[in-house]
A and B are shown apart, each in its own frame.
Chain A
Amino acid sequence: MTQETIIEHGRSQKNYWSEFWKSTELFWILAKRDITVRYKQTVLGIVWSVVRPVLTTAVLFFAFGKVAGLQFEPGVPPKLAIFAGVLIWNFFANSLSQVSHSILSNSNLVSKVYFPRLILPTSSVMVGFVDFLVGFALIIPMYLWYYFKQDFMPSWQLIFLPLFLGMAYLASFGFGLFLAVMNVKYRDFTQLTPFIIQFGFYACPVAYSSMNIRQYADQWWYPLYNMNPIVGIIDGFRWTLLGGTAPFNWESFIPSLIIILVVVLSSVAFFRKRENGFVDYI
């Protein structure tokens, strides 16, 4: 049977989602494009994905650990904890900025050919994901180092790692999607995104432990701090990586999960509503 398509104002294709799932090849090839292009004409190539988080960790350890003297929970190797924070934060921040630019940076495609537009933001996260995986490989030698140094052992909680990775993906996708739609019409958001990321870097427990915040539990802003979905993700990520030494923080996990789900669902709906008009504003 031949497929029948009806084109009308404001009509959401009934088979949008099946079309979306059928476009997996396009998804992979766009992701592959972004990844291949990323380190073209560099000498170090993919090694950059390790070098950057290591250098960031070093400087953060110096500034927050040595100068500011912020402590982690007893038994937690601080460099490992900061490195974990930097990895997951970089994944979130890179993905957020990739997703928010995904429509604009592919405007040549959007204005010349049809495909489910949602492919662009979903596949643009893959670059950050590969970066993350490469950086993450360094965790293994770090584990060995701390095992010999202070008898540190990871534990069963590691199996929950994909959960927090998934949450980070969804968070960057949800917020980024909203920014991507707004970016098409208002380039103000191109200016805003780097600022959000810079701001979030300090507002989230990337370089410090949220233990340092918990002592302010009686302050009025404490619940607000926990409303930040990234706090829950970073806390949880540390919990899985650092075994029993970093406690699980329900106070930040629950709001994080709820907010991420709400943002993802509403931003996808928002995107679907606007996507047919992208080309008129881009």
Chain B
Amino acid sequence: MNAIQVENIGKRYFIDHQKKYGGPAGLKETVVNSLQSLFGSKPQETSVKEEFWALKNVSFDVAQGDRIGIVGHNGAGKSTLLKVLSRITEPTEGRVTVRGRIASLLEVGTGFHQELTGRENIFLNGAILGMKQSEIKQHFDEIVAFAGIEKFLDTPVKRYSSGMFVRLGFAIAAHLEPEILIIDEVLAVGDAEFQRKCLGKMKDVSDSGRTILFVSHNLTAVQSLCNKAVFMNRGQMVAVGETGQIITDYMSKINQTSLVREWTTPESAPGNDQVRIKKIELMPTLAGTQTRIDVRTPIRVRFEFWNFVKNAKLNLSMHFNSMTGETIFNLASPQLDANPGLITGEVELPGNFLNDGTYTITMMIVKDAATVLYHLQESILFEIDDYRGEVAWYGKWPGSVRPYFPFTIEQAEEVNV
């Protein structure tokens, strides 16, 4: 019997393009519009609503004991699908039948209260996730040991380090015993040691025959944990099947990275009356059969911009930012004695430098090494895939950079025992 049956699920959102306030329609607009329509006159088009289907026509079955990985790029609708399945939001159309007790883990430490102690939060979080107080009591010592917070049980969690916070959250969730478990990207947090523990725990859960739905960007983790995968793209389910097959067939072929952004006329280009950006292009040096950028790939970043200032000393600076908005490093070009016209240049990032993840580049055009003439945030976005080679460890590789430096190890002396 199927544990989950998904039939033609669709989820529609309206994107408000408000002319006046920017935010979603306030009470005033709604009241004014409905009053106007009450008195027969047509409501004014103060806001333009655009339909957006986050999910459309998604159907698949999950058999009892299946471990399903949901894969796809950012914005493919994975998280929306999980939210519908875990009953957090309702679908606009279609229907889902779920057989069995379901628990969803869309975040580590849902509902933790900063002011409460670790002990109090274990009971709070457990209850929120659907555990009975007696079950929590029964597993209490295991949870504390798993999280490794024995000494801080009676400290408010606001004084916890972020690592302790996450460990406690996962420890509670790991002791849930639902028939169906829904997990979203939990592995993206915590240190390496802890991630190894998490993956191990999740393997235990799946070995006990429970049904798991798992969303992650980490394909290696999906591959090791799931027997089936659902591939999603732009709100649609593209394929469902055996994990390895889905990953090699689909994931690697669709490249979300836009390798080039170009504006053909200065009028449409971002900038001001001093400078306007014309083009940003990423040129990866892909090896052999490779189709996507991974941690080994050298990338050249090429830029072109129009300068309208006479006799200016200009240089270009690029901030490389992680998805969380942190600037990882800043590269600045040498200074150029520029005259009005088109200016071009490029910089090369070596392979084995950036860690896997999604990055954006902020471009900054600087005059006299002091004045910023113009800066363009998120001028381009790109993803770097993971590559492990022989490494059989699947947790997230820690750090912002991932250099490959010469490293030696040897047995200096042997002792017979």
Name A's B-contacting residues (CB within 8 A): 2-11, 25-26, 29-30, 33, 36-37, 40-41, 106, 108-115, 185-186, 188, 276-277, 279-281
Docked Cα-Cα span, A29 to B111, in Å, equals: 12
B189 to chain A, nearest CB (A): 15
In this assembly, does B95 line the interface, its C-beta being within 8 Å of a C-beta of chain A?
yes
A7 and B96 contact, CB distance less than 8 A: yes
B127 and A26 contact, CB distance less than 8 A: yes
A41 partner residues in chain B, CB cutoff 8 A: 115
Which one, B128-136, B247-255, B278-286, is touching chain A? Answer: B128-136
A5 partner residues in chain B, CB cutoff 8 A: 87, 97-99, 102
B144-187: contact bitstring with A at CB < 8 Å (1 yes, 0 no)?
00000000000010000000000000000000000100000000
Q: Which residue of A lies closest to B9 (CB)?
A: A7
Q: Say yes or no: A37-B90 contact (C-beta < 8 A), given A5-B97, A115-B130.
A: no
B116 partner residues in chain A, CB cutoff 8 A: 33, 36-37
B325-367: contact bitstring with A at CB < 8 Å (1 yes, 0 no)?
0000000000000000000000000000000000000000000
Docked Cα-Cα span, A8 to B9, in Å, equals: 9
B85 partner residues in chain A, CB cutoff 8 A: 7
B97 and A6 contact, CB distance less than 8 A: yes
Docked Cα-Cα span, A30 to B110, in Å, equals: 13
What are 21 A-B pairs with beta-carbon distances under 8 A? Answer: A2-B99, A5-B87, A5-B98, A5-B99, A6-B95, A6-B96, A7-B91, A8-B90, A8-B94, A9-B91, A9-B94, A30-B124, A40-B115, A108-B110, A109-B110, A110-B88, A112-B88, A115-B130, A186-B30, A277-B90, A281-B24
A113 and B97 contact, CB distance less than 8 A: no
Q: Which residue of B lies closest to A189 (CB)?
A: B27
A4 and B128 contact, CB distance less than 8 A: no
Q: Say yes or no: A3-B27 contact (C-beta < 8 A), given A113-B88, A113-B104.
A: no
B244 to chain A, nearest CB (A): 30
**B97, B107, B133: the one within 8 Å of A112 (CB):** B107
Q: Which residue of A lies closest to B84 (CB)?
A: A7
B89 and A280 contact, CB distance less than 8 A: yes
Docked Cα-Cα span, A33 to B99, in Å, equals: 32
A186 and B87 contact, CB distance less than 8 A: no
B90 and A113 contact, CB distance less than 8 A: no
A279 partner residues in chain B, CB cutoff 8 A: 83, 88-89
Docked Cα-Cα span, A41 to B123, in Å, equals: 21
Q: Which residue of A lies closest to B120 (CB)?
A: A36
Q: Which residue of B lies closest to A6 (CB)?
A: B97
Q: Say yes or no: A7-B88 contact (C-beta < 8 A), given A26-B127, A113-B129, A280-B13.
A: no
B128 and A115 contact, CB distance less than 8 A: yes
Give the 3 A-B residue pairs with the shortest CB-CB distance, closest first: A114-B87, A7-B96, A276-B90
Q: Say yes or no: A114-B92 contact (C-beta < 8 A), given A5-B97, A26-B127, A186-B26.
A: no
In this assembly, does B234 line the interface, its C-beta being within 8 Å of a C-beta of chain A?
no
B121 to chain A, nearest CB (A): 9
**A4, A8, A114: the one within 8 Å of B86 (CB):** A114
B1-44: contact bitstring with A at CB < 8 Å (1 yes, 0 no)?
00000000000010000000000101100100000000000000
A10 and B90 contact, CB distance less than 8 A: yes
In this assembly, does B368 line the interface, its C-beta being within 8 Å of a C-beta of chain A?
no
A8 and B91 contact, CB distance less than 8 A: yes
B81 to chain A, nearest CB (A): 12
A37 and B91 contact, CB distance less than 8 A: no
Docked Cα-Cα span, A29 to B113, in Å, equals: 12
Docked Cα-Cα span, A113 to B178, in Å, equals: 14
B100 and A3 contact, CB distance less than 8 A: yes
A30 partner residues in chain B, CB cutoff 8 A: 124, 127
A25 partner residues in chain B, CB cutoff 8 A: 127, 132-133
In this assembly, does B299 line the interface, its C-beta being within 8 Å of a C-beta of chain A?
no
In this assembly, does B197 line the interface, its C-beta being within 8 Å of a C-beta of chain A?
no
A158 to chain B, nearest CB (A): 35
**A3, A37, A276: the one within 8 Å of B89 (CB):** A276
A10 partner residues in chain B, CB cutoff 8 A: 90
Docked Cα-Cα span, A19 to B372, in Å, equals: 60
Docked Cα-Cα span, A115 to B99, in Å, equals: 17
In this assembly, does B93 line the interface, its C-beta being within 8 Å of a C-beta of chain A?
yes
B217 to chain A, nearest CB (A): 19
**A6, A114, A185: the one within 8 Å of B88 (CB):** A114
A6 partner residues in chain B, CB cutoff 8 A: 95-98
A114 partner residues in chain B, CB cutoff 8 A: 86-88, 104
B100 to chain A, nearest CB (A): 5
Q: Which residue of A lies closest to B28 (CB)?
A: A188
Q: Say yes or no: A112-B127 contact (C-beta < 8 A), given A2-B179, A7-B91.
A: no
